[in-house]
Amino acid sequence: MDFVGAYAPAHLKFLLEGFVVTLEVAFLSIFFSFLIGIIIGVLRYSRIPFLSPVLAVGVETIRNLPLLLIIFFTYFALPEVGVKLDKFYAAILALVIFESAMLSEIVRSGLNSIEKGQIEAARSSGLTYTQTLWHIVLPQALRRMVPPIVGQFISLLKDTSLAVVIALPELMNHAQIINGQNVNYVIPIFLLVAVMYFVVNYSLSLVSRRLEHKHS
């Protein structure tokens, strides 16, 4: 093992560059999957004829597939049907498809956890269905959803590493390039990369715990 050689300044800089891409991909994917996840979750909760069952089938299918397969799919298979995306967007699209399905389930079960009595009370005091959903149900449900949603974001950040299979220049890809130079770098580099993921994700989980305590 060669810790000194592995942690040469140029290598550290190279890893950081990769980490920036990891964070960029994660940030953008979180943003869009959060939006889409809420929309799908609410639509399924609302039991709209035809639409909700179709969404249910779509969400269940995606939730039961490996993310890795979805990444291969958006990058290698979509071009065959005319949708052409570069690595960066193909990775994000795959993450958004997968994570918004996961998030929509969290949103739906969060909404379901709100007592029906509250909805009836709001409706009988003159609010429309949409108003009730927007002002009464959603705010409470979102608060309850904070811990699982943060958990999902942590998964998402970890999952960006799967884009290593399409050679997206993120953290894992850069780590493997350095590892390719010398076998003695492998363990030190993996250790450092693990710590980088850990620091960000563990901080996220601490924030989530604090939020949880505040609300309970």
Partner 1 sequence: MFKTVWKKMIGLGLVAMLSATALVGCSSETTTENKTDNKKEQAAETTLDKIKERGKLVVGVKYDLNLFGLKNPQTGEVEGFDIDIAKGLAKKILGDENKIELKEVTSKTRIPMLNNGEIDAIIATMTITEERKKEVDFSDVYFMAGQSLLVKKDSNINSVKDVNKKGVTVLTAKGSTSAQNIRAKAPEATVLEFENYAEAFTALKAGQGDALTTDNALLFGMAKQDPNFRVVDETFSEEPYGIAVRKGDKELLDVINEYLKEIKANGEYDKIYEKWIGEKPKQ
Partner 2 sequence: MLDYSILIEHWDMYMQGFANTLKASVLALIGSFAIGTVMAVFRIAPIRPLNWIGAAYVEFIRNIPLILIVFVFFVGLPAIGIRFDSFTAGTLGLTVYTAAFIAEVIRAGILAVPKGQMEAARSSGLTYLQAMWYVILPQAVKIVIPPMGNQFINLVKNSSVLGVIAGLDLMYFGDLISSETFVTFDVYIFVALFYLLLTIPLSLGVGALERRLAKSR
140 or 201, CB closer to partner 2? 201
114 or 189, CB closer to partner 1? 189
For helices 186-215 and 138-159, what crossing angle results, to 10°? 180
**Residue type, position 49, single letter:** P
Binding site partner of 85, from partner 1, partner 2, none, Cβ cut-off 5-8 A by kind: partner 1
32 or 72, CB closer to partner 2? 72
Secondary structure of residue 210 in the 3-state scheme: helix
The alpha-helical segments, DSSP class H, found in the chain are 3-6, 9-45, 51-63, 67-72, 87-112, 116-124, 129-131, 138-159, 171-179, 186-215
* Location of structure tokens 């953290």: 171
Do residues 164 and 173 lie in contact, with contact meaning Cβ atoms separated by under 8 Å?
yes
Among 111, 154, 168, 178, binds partner 2 (CB under 8 A): 154
Residues 32-61 contacting partner 2, CB under 8 A? 60-61
Among 3, 16, 27, 48, binds partner 1 (CB under 8 A): 27
Residues 79-98 contacting partner 2, CB under 8 A? 80-81
Among 7, 14, 32, 73, binds partner 2 (CB under 8 A): 73
- Tell me the chain's radius of gyration from C-alpha atoms: 21
72 binds partner 2 (CB under 8 A): yes
144 binds partner 1 (CB under 8 A): no
* Location of structure tokens 């969290």: 106
- Between CA 207 and CA 25 the distance in angstroms is 21
Binding site partner of 39, from partner 1, partner 2, none, Cβ cut-off 5-8 A by kind: partner 1
Among 2, 5, 7, 24, binds partner 1 (CB under 8 A): 24
Tell me how far, at minimum, the Cβ of 24 lies from partner 2, in Å. 16
- Between CA 75 and CA 162 the distance in angstroms is 13
Binding site partner of 17, from partner 2, partner 1, none, Cβ cut-off 5-8 A by kind: partner 1
**Residue type, position 178, single letter:** I
Tell me how far, at minimum, the Cβ of 210 lies from partner 1, in Å. 27
- Between CA 80 and CA 131 the distance in angstroms is 44
**Residue type, position 30, single letter:** I
- Between CA 177 and CA 169 the distance in angstroms is 10
114 binds partner 2 (CB under 8 A): no
Binding site for partner 1 (CB under 8 A): 8, 10-11, 13-14, 17, 20, 24, 27-28, 31-32, 35-36, 39-40, 51, 54-55, 58-59, 62, 75-76, 79, 82-89, 92-93, 96-97, 100-101, 164-167, 169, 174, 176-183, 186
